[in-house]
Amino acid sequence: MALSDHERKLLAEMEAALEQEDPKLLSTLTGKARTKQGSRALLGFGILVIGLLALISGLVAKATVVGVIAFLISLSGVILMITNLSVKPPAARGKRFGIGSNLEDRWDRRNNNDI
């Protein structure tokens, strides 16, 4: 069943409002783009795997220097993953964003006006 012109217009307006309010959510829902944080977290995972492989090869070869360097590489991969897998970006901590926060703000304003 096809949408009417009015329904298409409403859908386009809702999508535009969503894109303006929360572009990350829209890209997640549509699957159009991967965030920079996700890409960096994948890079960190790759560095971790390479470091662990180098660590194992250093242990097999009984080369302490290679093992220490490989451990530092693995550690840098873990740090890169952890810093890019945060729930909220550092600038957004303490602030509320998105559709849910707008609803919460409206609810708070409504409750404050009733007092």
- For the chain, what are the domain ranges? 35-89
Which pLDDT does position 51 carry in this prediction?
A: 94
pLDDT tens, residue by residue, 50-78: 999 999 999 999 999 999 999 999 999 99
DSSP 4: P
Which pLDDT does position 30 carry in this prediction?
A: 66
Which pLDDT does position 39 carry in this prediction?
A: 81
- Determine the Cα–Cα distance for residues 108 and 115; give it in Å rounded to an integer: 11
| Distances in whole angstroms, Cα of residue 5 to Cα of each of 2, 16, 17, 18, 102 | 9, 16, 18, 20, 28
pTM over 0.85: no
